[in-house]
Structure 1
Amino acid sequence: MLKIGVLASHTGTNFQAIADACQQGDLNASLALLICNNSSAVVMERASRAGIPTRHMSSATHPDNLDQAICDALIQANTQLVVLAGYMKKLGPAVLNEFEDRIINVHPSLLPKHGGEGFYGARVHQAVLDAGEPETGATVHLVNAEYDRGDTLLQEKISVKASDTAESLADRLRPIEHQLLINAIKNFSEEISNE
């Protein structure tokens, strides 16, 4: 069974989708640990209710060596796959090196368009609208040292409607993000079981 470590910052809808899929048996995986950089984030409550171990880890809790502390926590939890689920911080070299090619992120656009530093949440959807894009979508990609530049694993498109707002795009893409993330985890789970 694949052991997943999740890093998140806010509400945790992607985290909840993974937790639900694990609980319902849709994934041959378990959530080993949630790390959150925001102690009052809703995702911490979601994880606690589900009985998933949580750690609040931020520059406030680990001012000198946050990167290594996160890496150590993931290793101690026997993490095999790291999922960034709305994590608003850049990963450091210790985590990136230890979990190379085993860190995934979901992004609410068709990368490489509308990705990179500063592109998250409603900002991405507004950029899509401002650019007059005929379509948008969601992308699951491997994480490397550059924001949203890792290899694309899965991507799904939707048409942009004339009536769309940043909020309506977010609402339409959210279930697609969740399913893509679950599909990517399934793929990793199959790879691990075949090793």
Structure 2
Amino acid sequence: MISNESSGICRIAVLISGRGSNMLALVRAARDGAIPNAQIVVVISDRADAPGLKLAAEQGIETLVIERRGRSRADHEREIIAALRARHVDLVCLAGYMRLLSPVFIEAYRWRTLNIHPSLLPSFPGLDAQRQALEHGVKWTGCTVHFVDETLDGGPIIEQRVVPVLDDDTVETLSARILAEEHKAYPAAVARVVRGELRLIGRRVISKS
């Protein structure tokens, strides 16, 4: 699903809008070898005040701010795609990126764009997934890493982790426990993609072995 034969290294870009904790988990996993033969080459934010930009810079990662305010989605995404291509990016990871991608972007990086969401999709897509889980009274929730397609949090699922919902949970306590699992699930899913372990049959992502 990705092609990095020319260099042997999968060049990864991370798109953020906020704190960047999942981005940092990916950076560390790539450097530690948990994501093999991979390098985070750039972190791009659509917000200049995103705290994750400072975290990335502290790790020696190139950062770019490509503001979306006052611009059409097409213009905004054209600039992002140009930045990705200039850096020969193989794989794009969304980590708290708060803008839906257009079909133009998705087609440019079809099956090469991943996202992580704080629920067991297809349950509770969109914003406030943890609050949705509490309000629905589910006993289990978690996180999902999936390929990005034209639907809202509806792309084929790569990896999921399960978290119990406790009787005394608040949005904050549940979110914290889910986030801890996100930091494990995202690097694991990216590693599977980079290693070329996966194939897609319909909507099912399955192992090649």
Settle same-fold status: TM greater than 0.5. Answer: yes
Q: Does 1:34 align with 2:35?
A: no
Residue 78 of structure 2 aligns with which residue? 68
Amino acid at match of 1:109: S
Structure 1 runs of 4+ off > 6 angstroms? none
Report the AA paired with residue 159 of structure 1: P
Q: Report sequence identity in percent.
A: 30
| Structure 2 SS opposite 1:65 | helix
CA-to-aligned-CA distance 1:103-159 (integer Å, 9 cap, x gap): 1100000111100xxx33xx2111101100011010001101221010111111122
SS at match of 2:40: strand
| Structure 1 residue 66: Cα displacement | 0.8
CA distance in 2 between partners of 1:179 and 1:127 (Å): 23
Deviation at 1:179, TM superposition (A): 1.0
Structure 2 Cα separation of the partners of residues 60 and 137 of structure 1:
32
For residues 35-63 of structure 1, what are the alpha-carbon distances to aligned partners after superposition, in whole Å with 9 as ceiling and x for unaligned?
A: 10110111110111111111101224855
* Consecutive unaligned residues in structure 2, runs of 5 or more: 1-8, 198-207
Whether the aligned pair in 2 keeps the contact of 1:62 and 1:69 (CA below 8 Å) is no
Q: Which residue of 62, 65, 81 corresponds with 1:53?
A: 62
Say which of 177, 182, 188 aligns to 2:193: 188
How far apart, in 2, do the equivalents of 1:128 and 1:54 lie? 34
1:137 alignment partner AA: G
RMSD, aligned CA: 1.7
Q: Residues of 2 paired with 1:34 and 1:137: CA distance?
A: 26
2:133 to 118, 128, 143: 128
* Unmatched runs of 5 consecutive residues or more in structure 1: none
Aligned pairs for 1:1-195 (under 5 A) are 1-28=9-36, 29-60=38-69, 63=72, 65-115=75-125, 119-120=126-127, 123-191=128-196
Q: Report how many aligned residue pairs link the two structures.
A: 188
Report the Cα distance in structure 2 between the residues aligned to 1:66 and 1:19, rounded to whole angstroms.
25
